[in-house]
Amino acid sequence: MGSLQLLPPTASAHAADMDWLFAALLGTSAFILLLVFGLMILFCVRYRKNSKVERGNRLGRTWRVEVAWTTATFIAFLGLYFWGAELYVDIHSPPKDATDIYVVGKQWMWKIEHPGGQREIDTLHVPVGRPVRLVLTSEDVIHDFAIPAFRIRQDALPGRYETLWFTPTEVGDYRLFCAEFCGTWHARMGGSVVVMQPSDFQRWLDSQDPGPSLAQEGEALFRSYGCSGCHGGAGTVRAPRLEGLFGRPVPLEDGRTVIADDRYIRDSILMPKAEIAAGYPPVMPSFAGQIGEDDLLKLVAYIKSLADGTAGTSQAGSVERPAQ
């Protein structure tokens, strides 16, 4: 104890990069600050009242200095911008082998669901050294999921999925916060992240009572909400089969092509008229207001599982989408 710790521990693969960027921004700002204030003070002293210095008009003029410092600062700040942008894009582009963990913010708690169906509140268990992809959303107002030791924070917005990823590098317990003021008990909205050895993590997963996985629950919902009536292939309505959909480019009626990611699936359910799959009638009803965030996550997980064959039951993997 007694040591002054200015920064939280660094416990993710991105943390050190983030700290370097932070140091560079701080260093550049400090340099400019000192330069400007240094010159100000220098001139105040040098040209104070009654000081014996040359005050005549300058005769020589040159653009060189002007051009040089403008270009130099421009390049320096553009460099910082690209450095930051690259890091930003990187933490939002998860690797393919990352494990999905779903996080739903709600006044005033974080609800977390593992792909195997394990659930926890305000605590996130993750294995060390494995990439984890978070899919974040909110049931009510804007929250912000922040883990300082991993140097990540991301707004959880109602009605949208945000994703980001991290790879924990150190076993241990870290703090988890809500970093967006969200009401009376905002300050209490937080908990901890427990980073474990992969074997301990597996044991922890096994010790939890998993219940059905998200995808299995999603499959049941797919039937109870009547989706299978149209998308099951047997109905009278011509609707696209959803096997193999996730992660593929989808040609739309209006000529655009979009990637079928979490956002696309979610919007297809809530606002089917916004993006009509090419070649199909726009007859799918909107389910906005009828399906809550929890159920949406399950449906998305189910449709996702149809793509990689982890659904385990029914029509998984049978029909390929026609190449268009």
When the beta carbons of 178 and 260 are compared against Cu ion, the nearer one is: 178
Q: Measuring CA to CA, how many Å separate 64 from each of 41, 67, 103, 185?
A: 24, 5, 55, 58
126 is a contact residue toward Cu ion (CB under 5 A): no
Segment 89 to 128, residues that bind ligand HEC, using CB under 6 A: none
Identify the helix (H) or strand (E) that includes residue 45: helix 15-46
Choice from 229, 232, 233, 317 touching ligand HEC (CB under 6 A): 229
Question: Taking a C-beta distance cutoff of 8 angstroms, is the pair 90, 133 a contact?
Answer: no
Choice from 84, 233, 276, 315 touching ligand HEC (CB under 6 A): 276
- Determine the distance from the C-alpha atom of residue 222 to the mean position of all C-alpha atoms in its chain, rounded to a whole number: 26
Residues linked to residue 156 through DSSP beta bridges, in sequence order: 143
Instruction: Please report how close the Cβ of residue 83 comes to ligand HEC at its closest, in angstroms.
Output: 37
Judge residue 170's burial from the number of C-beta atoms within 10 Å of its C-beta, 0-12 exposed, 13-18 middle, 19 or more buried: middle
Instruction: Please report how close the Cβ of residue 102 comes to ligand HEC at its closest, in angstroms.
Output: 16
Segment 144 to 203, residues that bind Cu ion, using CB under 5 A: 178, 182, 189
CA distance 206 to 170: 22
- Write the Ramachandran bin of 44: left for phi over 0, alpha for psi from -120 to 50, otherwise beta: alpha
Task: From the list Cu ion, ligand HEC, none, pick the one residue 143 interacts with, judged by a Cβ distance below 5 to 8 Å according to partner type.
Answer: Cu ion
Size of the site for ligand HEC (CB under 6 A): 27
Choice from 27, 212, 281, 292 touching ligand HEC (CB under 6 A): 281
Task: From the list Cu ion, ligand HEC, none, pick the one residue 82 interacts with, judged by a Cβ distance below 5 to 8 Å according to partner type.
Answer: none
CA distance 292 to 217: 14
Both tokens of 139, joined, read 């049931």
56 is a contact residue toward ligand HEC (CB under 6 A): no
**Helices 262-270 + 293-308 axis angle, to 10:** 130
251 is a contact residue toward ligand HEC (CB under 6 A): no
239 is a contact residue toward ligand HEC (CB under 6 A): yes
Instruction: Please report how close the Cβ of residue 273 comes to ligand HEC at its closest, in angstroms.
Output: 7
Instruction: Please report how close the Cβ of residue 212 comes to ligand HEC at its closest, in angstroms.
Output: 17
CB neighbours of residue 244 within 10 Å: 18
Q: Measuring CA to CA, how many Å separate 324 from each of 133, 248, 267, 279?
A: 30, 11, 22, 10
CA distance 289 to 268: 14
Piece in contact with ligand HEC (CB under 6 A), picked from 56-64, 111-119, 130-138, 282-290: 282-290
Choice from 230, 233, 261, 315 touching ligand HEC (CB under 6 A): 230
143 is a contact residue toward Cu ion (CB under 5 A): yes
Choice from 250, 297, 306, 316 touching ligand HEC (CB under 6 A): 250
When the beta carbons of 174 and 222 are compared against Cu ion, the nearer one is: 174
State the residue for tokens 């010159």: 39
CB neighbours of residue 137 within 10 Å: 23
Contact positions vs ligand HEC (CB under 6 A)? 225-227, 229-231, 237, 239-240, 242, 245, 250, 265, 268-269, 272, 276-277, 280-285, 287, 299, 303
